[in-house]
Chains A and B, each alone.
Chain A
Amino acid sequence: MCFPVCGMYVDTVLLSENLTQSCTLSERDFAVLWRYMEEDMSVDAVAGSEGGVERAIGLALLEKDADATAQLSSEVENILAFVSEVQSVEAGEVEQDGGAVNVFRDDVVTVEAEKYREGMLAQAPASFKRWFLSKKIL
């Protein structure tokens, strides 16, 4: 079964030297990919289906033991109670405007990525040629 490699995390993942090529997936890997796509390619699948703060801990890609989770959940719930005061602000009639933005800037990317490539790769935990290396995703 052939399936095109999506752009997902393509900058951080070494799949092959030619990332635009199709690759062959096993039936099992295809099922994993399909499930991931069905779930809007979000990290919700990783976060689990619990509600509230525990789910948010998963969405933040943090892993805590039971005690630390309980402590963090309690603190975050207190913060959420604190910020819920925002509901009392009467803001319905306020129109959105641009604020202090530069509307005259050319829409071009001026960062010279190539200039810093070597320095950045040298500091990566793992790299290969001109890519960052991570564990296999699929």
Chain B
Amino acid sequence: MQYEETTARDMRGLLDTGKVSAADLLREARRVIAEKDGAVKAFVEVFASADEDAMRADTMLKDGQMMPFTGIPIAIKDNICISSQCVTAASKMLEGFVSPYDATVIAHLREQGAVLVGRTNLDEFAMGSSTERSMYGTTYNPHDTTRVSGGSSGGSAAAVAMGAVPLALGSDTGGSIRQPASFCGVVGLKPTYGTVSRHGLIALGSSLDVIGPLGRDVDDVQLLFEVLRGESTQYDSTVGVFAEVGQAGVPEKVIGVPDTLSSVGLSEETLRAFSITLDRMKEKGYIVREVSLPIMEKAGAIYYIIQPAEASSNLARFDGVRYGHHEDGADVWGDYMQTRSGGFGEEVSRRIVVGSYVLSAGYYDAYYKKAVAARRAMRQAFLEVLQDVSVLAMPTTLDVAFVEGAIQDPIAMYAEDRLTLQANLTGLPAISVPMLVDGLPRGVQFVGGYNSEPVLFSCARDVA
């Protein structure tokens, strides 16, 4: 077995036939981390407790209690709570904070007997597109360690790409699973908003955040999604009733390509790779049709009002009183201000100031209220188009992973998410899968109707 290239399904077969144990797989995961993570820096902690997970999994296997992820090594983004483990969101604000409980997705994995290998790096509080803005430093791209891994789930994408784990959990608020998946050459799914519980995910933008899987191939990602999804009894926004796949009357195998793609700044190489990918899809029986979605281009303006507004509200809880970083001021307001000024990094500070601004009296109507209305218009436009096509297709990113430090301007960095924000604003599911072209990885993204993940998996499989 070449561990680095083995899928979770193949590991399942090896475990079930007794050819390897969960402890063997964990040993392999740690070997790869020891060999490669010095250069990549995907993991911020490798759990000692993984030995107990592996022992428990091996006992389950011995007792014939096999489930899809019993004994499978999985990495977890460091903004998802795991009981008795540190969870920091890569922020000084939460340095040393130990989670008192498991996120719902972690509880699902524990029920399965999965082995939680470690926690992975991210941009601070998941605000970023490169995993450069982390208190732990940059996570590098395993395909070229002078380049970034993407973000904010860059650690999870890099952990899968370097072969340490077949699967990892990430979170996606504006493209944070799909963009690093594209940069690192792995598969990443942003599920329909509400299908996976957010309980135990450190909140960034509550109406946008979704937990999802990253993996070596589409089948593994689908398998993990099936385990993660489901209604949560906790206090969050899971959808209790899952609609039937797709929408009645929607044609099969019809791909819509937004007409705005030519003006968003795609590199020539990405356009060429996308064109080759579409040609291959046509050979497999797909019809490709251009669709009009002019509102797509406004996603950045809408998103960077709504997301900072929600972030400023969510991050108001970090006051140095209840948990995490604390700095002493002259009085209680001094405590708040010094704690927050010292605990938050530059990008987080920028976004909470923007959020405070757009929510403040005098600016609320012009910015936030307008953005909420524009978001509804975008959702309506996407749903109308998705009546006529089974999925929308577009490159996940404008180009390949960029060199560390190449993008300093915040607005230039925001452009990295230009093609991924729409799925979060509308709540629609989207998947990024590597395009089969030479050179550094580039992903193609499919966006479908609510609860159309099976359609997305089917399209993604046909890219291979």
User: What is the interface of chain A, defined by CB distance below 8 A to chain B?
Assistant: 12, 46, 52-53, 55-57, 59-64, 72, 75-76, 78-80, 82-92, 94-97, 99-102, 104-105, 109-111, 115-116, 119-120, 123-126, 132-137
Contact = CB atoms under 8 A, between A and B. Distances in A.
A89 B374 contact: yes
5 contacts: A76-B357, A100-B427, A102-B238, A124-B323, A133-B321
A60 B367 contact: no
A110 B192 contact: no
B353 A57 contact: yes
Interface of B: 96-98, 100-101, 192-194, 231, 233-235, 237-241, 295, 298, 300-302, 304-305, 312, 316, 319-324, 326, 331-333, 335-338, 340-341, 344, 349-350, 352-358, 360, 366-367, 370-371, 373-374, 376-377, 379-380, 410-411, 414, 427, 450
Q: Secondary structure at chain A's binding surface: helix, strand, loop or mixed?
A: loop
Given A84-B301, A119-B100, A91 B337 contact: no
A72 B349 contact: yes
Contact of B367 (A63, A83, A109): A83
Contact of B337 (A52, A62, A72): A62
A75 B350 contact: yes
A2 to B, nearest CB: 23
B300 A82 contact: yes
B237 A12 contact: no
B427 A85 contact: no
A91 B231 contact: no
Give the 6 A-B residue pairs with the shortest CB-CB distance, closest first.
A119-B100, A125-B326, A56-B357, A89-B374, A91-B373, A63-B337
A56 B354 CA distance: 7
A132 B323 CA distance: 9
A56 B238 CA distance: 33
Contact of A89 (B239, B241, B295, B352): B295
A97 B324 CA distance: 38
Contact of B321 (A95, A119, A124): A124
A123 B193 CA distance: 32
B98 A123 contact: yes
Given A12-B322, A84-B301, A86-B374, 18 more contacts: A12-B319, A61-B319, A61-B336, A63-B340, A63-B341, A80-B354, A86-B305, A87-B370, A89-B302, A89-B373, A89-B374, A91-B377, A100-B193, A101-B237, A102-B238, A104-B241, A123-B324, A135-B335
B335 A78 contact: no
Q: Secondary structure at chain B's binding surface: helix, strand, loop or mixed?
A: helix
Given A64-B341, A104-B241, A99 B379 contact: yes
A115 B83 CA distance: 12
In this complex, the member of B326, B336, B340 whose beta carbon has the largest number of chain A beta carbons within 10 angstroms is B336
Given A53-B353, A105-B240, A110 B377 contact: no
In this complex, the member of A56, A59, A83 whose beta carbon has the largest number of chain B beta carbons within 10 angstroms is A83
Contact of B370 (A55, A89, A101): A89
Given A12-B319, A124-B323, A134-B321, A75 B376 contact: no
Contacts of B354: 56, 76, 79-80, 83
Contacts of B304: 79, 82-83
Contacts of A78: 410-411
A132 B324 CA distance: 13
A104 B322 contact: no
Contact of B235 (A62, A110, A134): A110
A56 B356 contact: yes
A102 B352 contact: no
Given A60-B355, A62-B353, A83-B367, A102 B237 contact: yes
A135 B319 CA distance: 12
Contacts of A137: 332
Given A83-B301, A91-B373, A123-B97, A134 B353 contact: no
A94 B450 contact: no
A76 B312 CA distance: 14
B357 A53 contact: yes
A100 B301 contact: no
Contacts of B312: 60
B343 to A, nearest CB: 10
A116 B100 contact: yes
A102 B376 contact: no
A116 B312 CA distance: 25
Nearest to B330: A135
Given A61-B336, A105-B240, A119-B98, A76 B301 contact: no
In this complex, the member of A60, A80, A123, A136 whose beta carbon has the largest number of chain B beta carbons within 10 angstroms is A60
